[in-house]
Amino acid sequence: MNVVFAQNHRLDDQTGIRHVTFAETPEHLTNENTTYVVWSDNQLESYFNKGHQLYIPYSRIKKEHADLDRVFVYFDLESFLFFKKISEEIVSQSKGVLRFRRLVDRETNSSIITEDLYVLSTVFGVPEEVKVLKSKQQDHPSHVILTVLFDKGTLAHLEYTFDAGERIEFEWSGVKTILEFNSEEMNPFLPTDHSSLPLVYTVDSIIEHAHKLSPDFLAEMDRFHVLVKGGVEG
């Protein structure tokens, strides 16, 4: 059976194809043909090694989980409905300029930047050069800015603000193409015939985009973590 750990304010459980059942403890997982959803703040370890196929946010993964069987990792940006639509428009083009701004709660783990850079690389290619500028850690709000050159020819400005609230702004300028998204607008995606609800994911999207957990996968994520800290790759 599939067991998906999700955030309750992120999950759209009305429009997905799979029927899901919510579970509060491992004892509630009784039907092999059912996809279960568990809120991500529940005790993760109690679901390990029980034969279930687990889908877990990257922020919850630890190095000691690397060798666990049947565990998949997902990233919220990659699972958002808007990102799938906008990346499908971009993938056929190789060069452009990306401006990406994200407001995240100050309590959010800074690994969100590593996650986003990895996800963006699936669309724009290998980050060949990353330059990082940070405000003082004690500042409120605090800021992190990355300038990234991807090997497919896109130059990106990624801006993170850690404060109260959540917001994503995404603008990509390519040859004869401008794509925009703002999670605070009712119809944020242009062209307008591709609009969708902001900052939500479905269980279907999580399962479709999840990555098999392995030591090699975590090693790759470590390389992206080094880049976010100011390293250079390529």
Summarised one tens digit per residue, pLDDT across range 167-222 is 999 999 988 888 999 998 754 444 444 334 578 899 999 999 999 999 999 999 99
Q: What is the mean pLDDT of residues 120-143?
A: 89
The model's pTM is 0.87
Ordered DSSP codes for the chain: -EEEEE-TTTB--SS-SS-EEE-SSGGG---TT-EEEEETTS-GGGGTTSS-EEEEEGGG--GGGTT-TTEEEE-HHHHSHHHHHHHHHHTT---EEEEEEEEE-TTS-THHHHHHHHHHHHHH--EEEEEEEE--TT-SSEEEEEEEEETTSEEEEEEEEESSS-EEEEEEEETTEEEEEETTSSS-SSSGGG---TT-B-HHHHHHH-EE--HHHHHHHHHHHHHHTT----
> What is the tens place of the pLDDT at every residue in 65-91?
988 889 999 999 999 988 988 898 887
Q: What is the pLDDT of residue 197?
A: 57
